[in-house]
Amino acid sequence: MTAPVQEPAADGAAQFCDQCGAPAAEPGHERCAARRTLEPPRFCPQCARRMVVQVDPFGWTARCSRHGETHS
Amino acid sequence: MSISTTTLSDRPGDPGRSDILAVAREQVLERGEGLTREQVLEVLQLPDESLDDLLALAHDVRMRWCGPEVEVEGIISLKTGGCPEDCHFCSQSGLFASPVRSAWLDVPMLVEAAKQTAKTGATEFCIVAAVRGPDERLMGQVAAGVAAIKDAVDINVACSLGMLTPDQVTRLAEMGVHRYNHNLETARSYFPNVVTTHTWEERWETLRLVREAGMEVCCGGIVGMGETLEQRAEFAAQLAELTPDEVPLNFLNPRPGTPFGDLEQMSGPDALRTVAAYRLAMPRTVLRFAGGREITLGDLGARQGLLGGINAVIVGNYLTTLGRPAEADIDLLGELQMPIKALNETL
């Protein structure tokens, strides 16, 4: 399921899908896009590592061991 | 169990099946006696053309036996992921290739979540952990969390920590946990298709202990996991036999990486029929809209459910997935002129 871990692009752009961890440029992310409205991110968009995600009643935080924390 | 007095054909969708609505009106609405398993099955087999009438009846039953108040609750995951059990619907099982990683919440974050929940008008805050049952570390964290919440927030605290020993039940009651959630999840006959690492009977035993200790019993499940309509009716009857104070009703949200990840979502009409049928089986219980309603029923589902037997909602997010904005549900309650149940009514 997890895509090979890669270093982020020099410009910081998302390289990986935050829902499935596959390269964002690959086709087939329609389900991921639909899912995103009711799902927090699961994979770091910069390196595809699985993130530690905490959902609370009104938001979420997601932490990548390499790239730090993001939140809603 | 009594047998339905209606004369029915075996063909789903037969207009004759709407007779069950007349029976339910007299039996449930007028006398407050829940439908039997066989009668619930008849309701679940009603055609789509009868759905509006069914929902209207379920709403009347809810208003008659429960009143217009709606109980609002927030839930939080204290310990996420890494569960040793194999509940096939759950992304938090450590046995499946789910993207959900283990996480623990600290007490200050727990208290902050309870404060934010209370601001919505909610009277219930449920602390949940993905475990088979609590170990000493978790019991300690729960004790600290419950005490800190009670010091800081005026809200009822509930817990859902898996299967309990008698000693753990006693300790939770002493902490002031007023309600304990432990879902039977599905019909007894279908349970082995959903979970193999423990039994339906083990769950029932925890529920028995919870009731004995004087805590309120919260027990529901998930529909749309591949069970038959007969099993959905069986589950309603088994819940009714338990007489829980609250029944949270979830609709399967197929999680990536789980054994049920590729199941089809149940249809909106099936979900609403289930809501109404469970209300008619349990006219006095708190019937709570829980997970999966957003994807199964969409934005309209909240309104249809609240006008079809539901009298409680989980606001905001769920344990690992996101819900509708809490304000959307609170605004809807105002629009429907359904007051949020006040704290002093639940104590």
Tell me, yes or no, whether A4 lies in a domain.
no
Judged by CB atoms closer than 8 Å, whether chains meet at B80 and A54 is answered as yes
Of the candidate CATH numbers 3.10.310.70, 3.20.20.70, 3.30.70.270, 3.30.70.20, the domain formed by B65-345 belongs to: 3.20.20.70
Pairing state between β A59-64 and A68-71: antiparallel
Residue B303: burial class (beta carbons within 10 Å; 0-12, 13-18, 19+): middle
Tell whether the torsion through CA atoms of B167, B159, B204 and B32 is positive or negative: positive
Tell me, yes or no, whether A55 lies in a domain.
yes
Looking up tokens 């789509």, which residue turns up? B48
Looking up tokens 């529909």, which residue turns up? B223
Question: Across the interface, which of A38, A43, A57 has its CB nearest the CB of B113?
Answer: A57
Work out the mean pLDDT of chain A and round it to a whole number: 85
Which residues 6+ apart lie within 8 Å of B128 measured at CB? B75, B76, B77, B78, B159, B160, B161, B181, B319
Host domain of residue A48: 30-71
Q: What is the pLDDT of residues B60-112, one digit of tens each?
A: 999 999 999 999 999 999 999 999 999 999 999 999 999 999 999 999 999 99
Question: Which residues of B make CB contacts under 8 Å with A?
Answer: 74-77, 80, 97, 99-103, 105, 109, 112-113, 116-117, 256-257, 294-295, 315-323, 326
Nearest-angstrom CA–CA distance, B49 and B53: 8
Residue in chain A nearest B254 by alpha carbon:
A35
Q: Complex ipTM, two decimals?
A: 0.84
Domains: count for chain A: 1
Residue B298, token pair as written in the block: 């969409």
Tell me, yes or no, whether A8 lies in a domain.
no
Question: Across the interface, which of A43, A52, A57 has its CB nearest the CB of B76?
Answer: A57
Q: What are the residue boundaries of the structural domains of chain B, listed by start? A: 65-345
Contact B177, B157 (CB under 8 A): yes
Residue in chain B nearest A54 by alpha carbon:
B103
Give the global pTM.
0.91
Report whether B219 belongs to an annotated binding site: no
Tell me, yes or no, whether A2 lies in a domain.
no
Interface test with B, best of A56, A64, A65, A72 (most B CBs within 10 A): A56
Nearest-angstrom CA–CA distance, B240 and B3: 16
Closest approach of A16 to chain B, Cα-based (Å): 14
Question: Which runs of E-coded beta strand occur in A10-66?
Answer: 52-56, 59-64
Tell me, yes or no, whether A62 lies in a domain.
yes
Tell me, yes or no, whether A34 lies in a domain.
yes
Nearest-angstrom CA–CA distance, B100 and B92: 6
Percent of chain A at pLDDT > 70 equals: 82
Would you put residue B224 in left (φ > 0), alpha (ψ -120 to 50) or beta?
A: left
Residue in chain A nearest B125 by alpha carbon:
A57
Which pLDDT value is given to residue B42?
A: 98
Contact of A28 with chain B, judged by CB distance below 8 Å, is answered with no
Question: Across the interface, which of A38, A42, A55 has its CB nearest the CB of B99?
Answer: A42
Instruction: Give B-chain residues touching A57 at CB under 8 angstroms.
Output: 74-76, 113, 116-117, 315-317, 326
Which pLDDT value is given to residue B299?
A: 78
Judged by CB atoms closer than 8 Å, whether chains meet at A58 and B322 is answered as no
Report whether B90 belongs to an annotated binding site: yes
Q: Is A7 a residue whose pLDDT tops 70?
A: no
Which pLDDT value is given to residue B11?
A: 42
Instruction: Give A-chain residues touching B109 at CB under 8 angstroms.
Output: 54, 56
Instruction: Give A-chain residues touching B126 at CB under 8 angstroms.
Output: none
Tell me, yes or no, whether A60 lies in a domain.
yes
Judged by CB atoms closer than 8 Å, whether chains meet at B99 and A50 is answered as yes
> Following CA atoms B51, B241, B296, B84 in sequence, which dihedral angle do they give, to the nearest 10 degrees?
-170
Tell me the angle at which helices B293-306 and B326-335 cross, rounded to the nearest 10 degrees: 20
- Taking chain B (347 residues) in consecutive chunks of 10 residues, what is each chunk's mean pLDDT? 37 59 98 98 97 97 97 96 97 94 94 96 97 97 98 97 98 97 98 98 98 98 98 98 98 95 95 98 97 88 94 95 92 94 68
Task: With residue B68 as reference, give the H or E element that holds it.
Answer: none
Question: Across the interface, which of B101, B317, B319 has its CB nearest the CB of A58?
Answer: B317
What does B261-297 look like in DSSP terms, one character per residue?
A: TTSPPPPHHHHHHHHHHHHHH-TTSEEEE-TTHHHHH
Residue A1, token pair as written in the block: 């399921």
Judged by CB atoms closer than 8 Å, whether chains meet at B318 and A37 is answered as no
Q: Is A2 a residue whose pLDDT tops 50?
A: no
Averaged over A25-32, what is the pLDDT?
91
Nearest-angstrom CA–CA distance, B68 and B80: 35
Looking up tokens 């819900």, which residue turns up? B323
